[in-house]
Structure 1
């Protein structure tokens, strides 16, 4: 484990996987994610071993071994964290984001110098009212639960009210090995909601808002994921000025890394002026 301290005094913990000469990519997890999550570890290993990328896999603030800013959940904070990591990487890096981490990656790409590419895996934009739409005032109750440190309730609340999971599914999850880790990261979900709340209103995305995300971007979705995630991926790819969308037939939001890594790694490891990857669905 390595650490850096950001200009705001946040300590960020990360693991560095040294690959080869294909550049650096920073991995950004989604809600309840953390750097030791097995699938994130496996993705880091594959990108380094097979695609010669140096991978920085970090704990977002409030998770794992990183510190937090209790009560201060502004998106700008996490963008500043990414800027500090890019600087630590030598001033240049690509970003890979998963779920809310994908949206955070896109927001950072518009504001942080030195970001070269983005892979956005299933950013959960809610662009119509055909499926689940979270309540507009969700953060009021979420912040109350976090302030009271009621982690089990916070996890259940976020899963059902922010992510739209069925209550029966969350009840089952309480008896799985992953529940302990979900409770450990539950209080960080306010950071995820700060990222996602403007973009889960059931309204089309505003192309003008995303016009400054000009870096080459690959938006990935899975054929086995729900309609909401597939629609959101298509919607953001359509408004970004330099993006492609790929849907991988057998992939889901809980991805098979052996399916995800070739798509992400192939795009990230190509030279910026190489146009070969991303125009077709794998």
Structure 2
């Protein structure tokens, strides 16, 4: 296969590699630029311990950084972030050739200095430089392109914080038998309990379940008569249904015999 046929998007493989080389230089320059902004912000307002002395100045940290942000055309949040990242990466430990500023920012979350400085030197397996996902994975943050089941679950949970998204996802999952089959019986019970908090749903679900002879006979065999209030339709159904699912002959009903050695409290009274 020729180089021209191995395209990446609209460009040939060789042209793509030229673009990558060019942009890596750009990213390296941007990384150094971001660190320069952070260094200068640190020079104006060094990092201080909480509750530490502020120093002899009329300016607060917020005011100084806000003025700097305005004067260079950046947001205060950006200036604060670059200042913090620069404080986490002394110049001698920065690695702009193998890690972008974004990667340095993610790895800056490693608390221990020695661990952080060593971590950036250990490249992800089989890769010549860090990716943002690799860095986020290293510090336990959400990745942009999930790979493992846990990462995919985290991505779904993040999206499902929106109630409309959560409802749509749940509806889709419940329509997929292969997904439901992997859910434990205990979790399925919890789902049913949650949905049946709505009285209409509970009534519909109970009626549907009790029309299944195997379920209904098991329920009546273990539920005291005093707890069967409002189950008239199901009891009427049972009066003509056998445990094996077949219908009893016309006029024949099952008032007793739902299980061995059942006392009066487990008697089925038709019409309840």
Q: TM-score range by the shorter chain?
A: under 0.3
* RCO comparison, higher one (Cα < 8 Å, 6+): 1
TM-score, length of structure 2 as denominator length: 0.20
- Bigger share in strand: 1
